[in-house]
Amino acid sequence: MNCDIEKVSFQYSVHIAKVSEDHIVITIRVEFIYHDEVILSLSSEHYFYIENMKDLFVFNGKVLNDHLNLYPNFAGIAYGATRGMVAVHTAGTKLEARPVPLIKTSDILSKSVVKK
């Protein structure tokens, strides 16, 4: 890739892909963009199995009610794992110098459908 690494931008999304009676699936997608073109895209799904899930979460089809505030931890784990995957895939390339940035859990929550 022949590009000015400083001009590479980054975007991400975090979604609850599935909620069932015993697990939550969180999907993370990260993209690196150069001159309005996606030059790297990675999506990952993270499964969190939870005993007694129906006692901890309520999902009405659109919003996940998380009274114990567990979702930020799950989303943070999923995002961190995705950061590691991108680091492995970009090792030895120019993008190695542009790692997926650290973000605050509150930033993840602002893009999600989770309520406390």
What is the pLDDT at residue 62? Answer: 61
Model confidence at 113, in pLDDT bands (50, 70, 90)?
A: very low
Domain locations in the chain? Answer: 8-115
Tens-place pLDDT, residues 11-33: 888 887 787 778 888 899 999 99
Q: Taking residues 22-47, what's their average pLDDT?
A: 91
Q: Percent of the chain scored above 70 by pLDDT?
A: 83
Structural contact between residues 98 and 5, judged by C-beta atoms closer than 8 angstroms: yes
Mean pLDDT, rounded, of the chain: 82
CB-CB neighbours of 98 under 10 Å: 17
How many of the other CB atoms lie within 10 Å of CB of 74? 20
User: Nearest to residue 23, comparing CAs of 56, 48, 44, 52?
Assistant: 48
DSSP for 26-57, written as a single string: EEEEEEEEETTEEEEEEEEEEEEE-TTHHHHE
Q: What's the pLDDT tens digit per position in 81-110? A: 999 999 999 999 988 988 888 888 777 666
Reduced to 3 states (helix: H, G, I; strand: E, B; else coil), residue 110 is helix
